[in-house]
Amino acid sequence: MQPLLEINNLTVSFGDETAVDGIDLTLNRGQTLVLLGESGSGKSITAMTILQILPVAATITSGQIVLAGQDLLKKSEEEMCAVRGGQISIIFQEPQTSLNPVMTIGDQIAESLRIHKNLTGTAARKQVIALLDEIGITSAKQRYDDYPHQFSGGMKQRVMIAMALACDPVLLIADEPSTALDVTIQKQVLELLLKVQQKRNMAILFITHDLGVAAKMADHVSVMHKGNIVENASRDVFFTKPSHRYSQALFNTLAQGSQVKLTAVKLEKKPEQALLKVTNLDVFFPIRTGILKTITGHVKAVKNVSLTLEQGKTTVVVGESGSGKSSLGKGILQLVSVSGGEVLFDGVDLMKLTAAQLRQKRADIQIIFQDPYSSMNPRMQIGAIIEEGMILQSNKSAAQRLLRIEELLIQVGLEPASRHRYPHQFSGGQRQRICIARALAVEPKLIICDEPTSALDSLFQAQILELLSELQNKLGLSYLFITHNLAIVEQLADHVIVMYQGEIVEQGDAKQILHNPQHAYTQQLISAVLPPTIIEE
């Protein structure tokens, strides 16, 4: 049988840099090919090349893209317009920005019907409603006239899928379609994709960096690394015996995490006392309306949360986006105004301190943010960034501070000489190390880690987690670790708190929660996790 899509020796470059370096891919009808790789490996560029929607700076230097016997690269722009949305369609990662906010979703789906099938009016409307029904949007007739902001993230992604399916494409390109979604919704979207694929016998080119997602979706897996395809294998072979060194490294980083935990467990003999005690914490954001900006209601980000954190231990707060876990961290730090409750740190109620006292106390609790790109001032040198806290919190001389900066840089695994560089000269993982050094500079007892690894590639993720455990062992730090990633719970947590809509639904020992969840939401959360192995259904 002739394959549906065949890519031969495709090379795409940006100026002197080669983004895609002579790759070959084949995809059969009705099959799913997962293109697996980290950010910057050239996966998305490959997808854009197929549709020829590359940025202006990119040039296709060589290769063939054959779809059902026709070379797409030889087609004119006009002919490509018929292919895009007709034979091939695409779903993007970010459903929030992929839909036009001033058009009803029905009209947006109908647009491609009008272009490719010349369907208008009631005929188009009928077909769109049928599509909406198919992708699981309830009361589709009414929702046709709704605008994108009236849908949740998962629903928007469903609308995107409906738009892509409108003209019965033979090939669907899905560019990380579930990465921006919460785990429970991710599972639903993936299952929907599998269902429509079976029904239409459609081929899917699925782009992801997540091994778990790959295991669920793939028939074949192609691993991409620095513009090259390093491994091409069927799903069964890839997940049982990955052959290339890079693929093995991807699996190993997942395994490494559990080893890290083993060293951390040994240290449990320390005297334990409650370092942080939060009682009935409320964080409400007022909703102001009208000319006089009177408060008409509250967004209750955190409701009545109590928790205790012992010294030298790690508590992981798990929850989906919007569950209030970040507000909890900022509330404890007093970075947002707290509406009620008590935050006892080392026996001192942080909420009763004056502004000046609080500034003094801040040295004891530090925070590491999710996005390593926005968490450092781009105009300051690394040395100055790390030094800032010491200037404010200690009376060390300039020479002592310099020594300490170099010591910290070595401690987090960077060259001492790099203190003269600027943040943009470092990779994401290295920046996160600098943020850790900045936090350590003031010798804190507690570090609140707000999703510190979720913006990083998996190789870096493992390194950062390893570094954090190592520092905990050496310095006796406590962590309040905020994450949506349940894999981290297994690796780091002593204690787990599950948050849902601003409230704690379950908390307890890590092992107990993972293996014997009590609350329905926790059960749902754990069952939605896609393990990087093949599950027989």
Pick 186 or 393: Cβ nearer another protein: 393
CA 406 to chain centre: 32
- Shortest Cβ 426–another protein spacing (Å): 6
Helix (H, G, I), strand (E, B) or coil at 244: coil
Interacting residue with another protein among 246, 284, 345, 369 (CB under 8 A): 369
φ and ψ of 276, to 5 deg:
-130, 130
| Residue 367 binding another protein, by CB under 8 A | yes
Site for another protein in 345-364 (CB under 8 A): 359-360, 362-363
CB burial readout 492-529, b (16+ within 10 A) else e? bbbbbbbbbebebbbbeebeebbeebeeebbeebbebb
Round to whole Å and give the CA distance between 466 and 484.
Answer: 18
Please state the closest distance from residue 250 (CB atom) to another protein, in A.
19
Which tokens sit at 80? Answer: 């490509």
- 472 contacts: CB under 8 Å, gap ≥ 6: 264, 267, 312, 314, 478, 479
Q: Does 335 bind another protein (CB under 8 A)?
A: yes
Q: Which of 50, 283, 442, 487 binds another protein (CB under 8 A)?
A: 442
- CB closer to another protein out of 89 and 370: 370
Give me the DSSP letters along 294-338: EEEEEEEEEEEEEEEEETT-EEEEE--TTSSHHHHHHHHTTSS--
Is residue 453 within the footprint of another protein (CB under 8 A)?
Answer: no
Is 256 a binder of another protein (CB under 8 A)? no
* Residue choice 340, 413, 508, 532 for contact with another protein (CB under 8 A): 413
Choose which of 371, 443, 490, 503 interacts with another protein (CB under 8 A).
Answer: 371
Stretch that binds another protein, among 163-171, 270-278, 302-310, 410-418 (CB under 8 A): 410-418
Please write down the HEC assignment for all residues of 25-85: EEECCCCEEEEECCCCCCHHHHHHHHHCCCCCCEEEEEEEEEECCEEHHHCCHHHHHHHEC
Lookup result for tokens 């890290």 = 260
Tell me 146's DSSP state.
-
Contact between 523 and another protein by CB under 8 A: the answer reads no
Q: How far apart are CB 364 and another protein at their closest, in Å?
A: 10
Among 100, 150, 425, 473, binds another protein (CB under 8 A): 425
The burial class, CB within 10 Å (0-12 / 13-18 / 19+), for 199 is exposed
Judged by CB under 8 A, which of 55, 121, 290, 378 binds another protein? Answer: 378
Q: Residue 333: how many CA atoms within 13 Å on its side-chain side?
A: 24
Asked if residue 190 lies in contact with residue 217, where contact means CB atoms within 8 angstroms, the answer is: yes
Beta bridge partners of 233: 221
**Per CB under 8 A, does 401 bind another protein?**
no
State yes or no: residue 415 binds another protein (CB under 8 A).
yes
CA distance 532 to 386: 38
Q: Cβ of 220: how many Cβ atoms within 10 Å? A: 19
Question: What are the structure tokens assigned to 339, written together?
Answer: 């509406």
Q: How far is the CB of 309 from another protein (least distance, A)?
A: 17
Does residue 366 belong to the site contacting another protein (CB under 8 A)? yes
Is residue 296 at the binding interface for another protein, with CB under 8 A as the rule? no
For residue 27, the one-letter residue type is L
Is residue 388 a contact point for another protein (CB under 8 A)?
yes
**Nearest distance from residue 53's CB to another protein, in Å?**
19
Interface pick for another protein out of 194, 380, 459, 529 (rule CB under 8 A): 380
Q: What number of chain residues touch another protein (CB under 8 A)? A: 41
Q: Between 61 and 411, name the residue whose CB sits nearer to another protein.
A: 411
Which listed range, 48-56, 125-133, 282-290, 433-441, lies at the site for another protein (CB under 8 A)? 433-441
The span of 117-125, 260-268, 425-433, 504-512 binding another protein (CB under 8 A) equals: 425-433
421 counts as binding another protein under rule CB under 8 A:
yes
Minimum gap (Å) between residue 425 Cβ and another protein: 5
Closest CB 57 distance from another protein, rounded Å: 9
Q: Which is nearer to another protein, 186 or 375 (CB)?
A: 375
Q: Which residues bind another protein (CB under 8 A)?
A: 330, 333, 335, 359-360, 362-363, 365-367, 369-371, 374-380, 388-389, 392-393, 410, 413-415, 418, 421-422, 424-427, 429-430, 433, 435, 438, 442
